[in-house]
Every structure is written in structure tokens, then in C-alpha cells.
Structure 1
Amino acid sequence: MQGTRLDTARIRAARRVIDPVFLDTPLYRCEALEPGLGCAVSVKLETANPIRSFKARGSEVVVSRLIADGARAAVCASAGNLGQALAWSGRDRGVEVTVVASRYATAAKLERIRALGARLELVDGDHERARERAAAIARRDGIRLVEDSLDIETCEGAATIGLELVDAEPPFDAVLVALGGGALATGVGHVVKAVAPETEVICVQPLGAPAMTLSWRRRSVVTTETADTIADGVAGRYPIPAVLEDLLRVADDAVLVQEASIVAGMRMLLDHAGLVVEPSAALGIAAILEDRDRFAGRHVATVLCGGNVDLDAYHRWVGAA
């Protein structure tokens, strides 16, 4: 795909440094979902790995390059999943990892970061405050700041999901991808448009955290004062200009969905597929629920990008049904 920061040859090479436990995740048509959605639906299950998220595909590439450069420490800001991924990738390779997160982040994600051996620092405020603190630590200690979506390794690691999607037969009519910082959307989108350009790439974001979608629509960076959504994994407020430029080249559409639709998607995945997913992973299903006519008669794939949930919150959202 011309015009993005990503490179298909590097993406294929990334598969060689990613632990196989994170590769070739289940991809299957989930017929039990289809009566309620009105279209054929395949799910790409990125929860079936040790950190229950796609993020380790990128962190594996990051850490492999850190080691190649002789670096042994890194810091990142995270809503939870990137922190777990970087901690996992660094743990057995002798890379000391510091994760900065909002103290209001999902408790289960924070506990897992600690369990994986990373140093965890909590800040007041949201993810953007965590990004500022992580950058300050990197400057103070002279260590690598890992910035999700800005660092090309995170995008090209995520793009290996795209390689697995385009190998499917027959090809999909559309691929629905959660949109937050943009690593997943630009990575998958780059590969899909390079290999199967007729497949529509649709990015999905919560209405309560719309910064990247608004930026895509306006073709310039739009920031928001707040982010109010249960989908904490995609709740950024300050899009990165370089990532937006990539997104503009690979995304056919970017849509916003309501919180009620996200919850309904989570409930459908539990009731009809036996899958417990975090809100960000249900965005694709939410998009279909809100626009059934658009997808009627088509075969759609959606990436279930994470399954790290606070159980009490999950039961409040889904358990009443």
C-alpha cells in the first residue's frame, strides 16, 4: 500500500519475531450471531492468547528491536492492554518495563500488569495525562518511550492480523476494526488494501470518544476535551497526525456507535458465541446492529481485539439480560 508509514515486507518479517502463541488466532464464521445481525459474520479472536489482546503482536516487535539496539528498558502509557503486552514481551528478554496508567483504569488490567513484573505508576486523570508522565520518565531516565500507534512497530505488529484475514477464502466484503489510537486500524487496513483492495475497511469508534473518527472525516486532527465511554481501550482524545495520515489512506469509512449498542454487542457475543470480550472488542458488532441495511447479504469480518474486563463492571453491563 503506497503512501503510508507501513511496509508490507516488514510486516511479513514481523511474523518471524512474534511469539507463535500470538499468531494465527482463530478466525471462523459465527453462524449463531447471524440471525440477529442479518449478515454473514466471521470473528477474528484476538483474545485467545496469554494477555487476551492483540497488543502483544506489536510489543513483540518493539522488544525485539530494543534488544537489537542494545536497549534494556522501556516505558509506555497504557489503558491496560499495551502495558500487559509490553510487560509480557519484556519479562523473559531482560527488558525492564515501566507502565504509566490512569488510576481509574480497569482494575483487572492493572493487576495483570503488576503480575507480569512491570513497574506500574498511576496518575490522576485520563490516558492523556498518563502519556505525558510516560514521556517525562523517558526523558529523565534516558529510556525508550513506546508510543502506541505512533511507533511503527506497534502498527506493523497489529498488521499481521491483516495478513491472516486476507488469507481467508472466500474474501470478506468488509472488515470492521476498532479505532482508538489507530495501530490496529492502520495496520489491518494497510494489508487489506494492499492485498484485497475490493474489501471495505470500516473503522468503529464510540460516540463518547470520537476524536479519531472526527479527524478522519475532517481530514485534519480534531481533539476533544473529554472521552466518556465504557470502551476504555479506544478512549483517546489527541489523535497523532502521522497516524491520521495513514488512516486516511487505508480506511473506507469511520463510524461512531452508541454505548447501548456496544453493550448489546457484548451481550450477543456472550449469548450466541460464548465469548467474554471487553467493550472495544464489541465495536464491530455494534456497528452492524446500528446499520443492518448496510451489511445485509454481505460477509463481514470483525476483529475481537481484547477480552480483559473488570468482572463487576461486565456483570453490570451484560449480566442483567
Structure 2
Amino acid sequence: MLKTRLDLDRIHAARQVIDPIFLDTPLYRCDALGRELGCTVSIKLETANPVRSFKARGTELVASLLTGQGRTAVVCASAGNLGQALGWSGRRRGLDVTVVAARQAPAAKLDRIRALGAELDLVDGDFEMARERAAALARSRGIRLVEDSLDIETCEGAATIGLELAGAGVDFDAVLIALGGGAMATGIGHVLRSLAPGVETICVQPVGAPAMTRSWHERRVVSTESTDTIADGVAGRHPIAAVLDDLLVVADDAVLVQEASIIAGMRLLLEHTGLVVEPSAALGVAAVLEDRDRFVGRHIVTVICGGNVDLDAYHRWVWRGPESCPVSGPLGCHPFAVASTFKGTDHSL
């Protein structure tokens, strides 16, 4: 029995609560991407749903619990995807949803939160300031605060992805998971540890937002003063101790990747899979680009966790010229050049 906050029986039961539109998402092998990366690559696609991310697996559980308790209102802090998911799940069940977000969050995410009928409260600052504001609103209004990754429903909802991977009848060696607050990593990791212990769980974070990865390596909470990454969905500064404790049990590794590799990953996903993804969803591909030798001859699954991207920003990142690439020098921003630049470089710490 794994010593985490998660429970495998509850995770199985969660599938009865989550709207089927978010379940049994596509899992398929992409040979074109695999040839480019030098390994066998399968994609677990979590963007083909009404909120374009995996987050509704958790908010479906949260909203069901709240309505069962007779609650009528809820508030959360969000970088964008959780707010959309809670807005969708809350509207379906008659909950009044307030989402606190940073004013500089991607405009497309903020617009979709509003379109789902949620009240949007914007703060000047980053996600951590939004968390503080959401907590204050919950106290003043006497309503439930949903905290992603801390609330076990967000982890166990995400863990249903792990059930689908473990039950797919596909032999794979490793799963690459974007690491932010930790809900998806701890959820999938818990299931794989329980049902497919031979599969390696590898968490991936940007070097510009390394708090949870550094915490995992040091086995204690390590906060950072700031973040500097285009992957806004994983850009937290203060890891939650209880989530870290779970991650230490279920994760095999946590690595950091450069911004240029994230952009290269987004471009490769567009070119070889036709998927327009947000930066956080390209972290798995970025990890392979930076350490090809580790994955040669192996079958990996990368979880495409979100597709809520501002198109103007996406265009700048994916199609911009060498002069604006994060990698300086004559190699420019071509994905193959980026892969060559980082081959053999250790960004795990």
C-alpha cells in the first residue's frame, strides 16, 4: 500500500462521477514524432474536450462534492485552465464560480473563463498572489476555496488518466508528465506505482519555474522568489508540503528543461502531430530533446495536458526568427539545432 493521500478505490470510483466527455481520451503512437526524437512515442491527448485540458477530471469531483454538501458557491486561483474547468463543472451543477487570476495571464484563457459564466477577479502579480486573493475571498464570503493539488479531488481526478494508461494494454517504459502544483504528477504516478510499477514516472518542469523539481531533489519544500517561463500553467513558486510528500513516493525523476526546448517541442508537436498545444503540454517532448540518449530504444508516453494558448503568442514562439530565440548564437531556434545544443546537458537540478 502506497503511503500517499490518494486512494486507488476512490480513483476508480471517480470515473463514475466525471462526465464521460473527459474520460477515455485518445492514446496513440505517433511514429513521425518518434522518428524525430529517436524513440517510440505515444501521445495521451487531454485537449479534445470542452475546456481543452485535463483539469476538468478534478473539478468534476470537486463540483459534485460541493453540490452534494448543499454548497452554492466556490472560488479558486488559476493560471487559466483550472478556472475554465471549474467554470464548466460549476455551471453544469448550478454553482457560482469565482476565479482569481493574474492580470497578465493569457488573454485567451481569461476570455474563456468569462465565457463559461464565472466571475473573474484579476490581480496585479503572479499566481501566488492570486492564491492569496482567492483565500481572502473565500474567508470573506464564507465559501469553499478550491486549491489545486492540495484538494485531493484534483489529484484523484487527474489520476484517472493513470487508470487509462495502465489499462490500455500497451507496453511502455516511461510516462513524461508536466509538473506544476503536482496534481497530475501525483495522480498518474500513484496509479502507475500501484498497477504498473515497471513504468518510470518522469516529471518535467521549466528551468525558469523550478520550485517543485528542486523540492523533489532536496526532499523538502524549496520556494523561489520569481518565475520566468512561457509555461504559465506550471509556474508556481511555493510548493505545497503535502503534495511534495506524495510526489516523493510516486515519482522516479524530476527534470528541468530550457525555454528553447519547450518552443522546439511545441513546433515538433505541430509539425508531426498537427496539435496546437500550450507550452506546458510540450514539456515531455522538451525533456526528450535535451536527453536523447536516455530514451533511445524506449517507448515513452507524453501527456498533452493543455491546448489553451494565445494564438498571437503561439505564433511568436513557434514561427519567430533566430534573432528572438532564447538560444543565442548561429543555431537559432530550429528544433533540430535546439536538440543538438542541449544534448547531454544535465538540467535535473
Q: TM-score range by the shorter chain?
A: over 0.9
In the alignment, the residues of structure 2 paired with residue 244 and residue 150 of structure 1 have an alpha-carbon distance, to the nearest angstrom, of 10
Which amino acid in the other structure matches residue 79 of structure 2? Answer: A
Give the corresponding residue for 1:250.
250
In the alignment, the residues of structure 2 paired with residue 170 and residue 82 of structure 1 have an alpha-carbon distance, to the nearest angstrom, of 30
Give the corresponding residue for 1:284.
284
In the alignment, the residues of structure 2 paired with residue 34 and residue 191 of structure 1 have an alpha-carbon distance, to the nearest angstrom, of 25
Q: 2:8 aligned with 1:8, yes or no?
A: yes
Distance apart, 1:35 and its partner CA: 1.6
In the alignment, the residues of structure 1 paired with residue 268 and residue 192 of structure 2 have an alpha-carbon distance, to the nearest angstrom, of 27
User: Structure 1: which 4+ aligned runs deviate by more than 6 Å?
Assistant: none
Give the corresponding residue for 1:213.
213
- Report percent identity of matched pairs: 75
Give the corresponding residue for 2:241.
241
SS across alignment from 1:41: strand
In the alignment, the residues of structure 2 paired with residue 103 and residue 60 of structure 1 have an alpha-carbon distance, to the nearest angstrom, of 26
Distance apart, 1:313 and its partner CA: 0.3
SS across alignment from 1:156: helix
Deviations 1:15-52 (A, max 9, x none): 10100000001100011101210000000000010000
Which amino acid in the other structure matches residue 130 of structure 2? Answer: A
Distance apart, 1:168 and its partner CA: 2.1
User: TM (normalized to structure 2)?
Assistant: 0.91
Deviations 1:164-193 (A, max 9, x none): 011122321000000000000000000010
In the alignment, the residues of structure 2 paired with residue 305 and residue 3 of structure 1 have an alpha-carbon distance, to the nearest angstrom, of 26
SS across alignment from 1:271: helix
Give the corresponding residue for 1:101.
101
Which amino acid in the other structure matches residue 103 of structure 2? Answer: R
In the alignment, the residues of structure 1 paired with residue 170 and residue 141 of structure 2 have an alpha-carbon distance, to the nearest angstrom, of 50
Give the corresponding residue for 1:228.
228
Distance apart, 1:208 and its partner CA: 0.2
In the alignment, the residues of structure 2 paired with residue 290 and residue 113 of structure 1 have an alpha-carbon distance, to the nearest angstrom, of 34
Give the corresponding residue for 1:162.
162
Which amino acid in the other structure matches residue 42 of structure 1? Answer: S
Kindly report the root-mean-square deviation, in angstroms, between the aligned alpha carbons of the 2 structures: 0.7
Give the corresponding residue for 1:113.
113
In the alignment, the residues of structure 2 paired with residue 199 and residue 149 of structure 1 have an alpha-carbon distance, to the nearest angstrom, of 23
Which stretches in structure 1 are left out of the alignment for 5+ residues? Answer: none
- Larger of the two Rg values belongs to structure: 2
Give the corresponding residue for 2:38.
38
Deviations 1:106-145 (A, max 9, x none): 0000000000000000000000000000000000011000
Q: 2:126 aligned with 1:145, yes or no?
A: no
User: TM (normalized to structure 1)?
Assistant: 0.99
In the alignment, the residues of structure 2 paired with residue 308 and residue 2 of structure 1 have an alpha-carbon distance, to the nearest angstrom, of 34
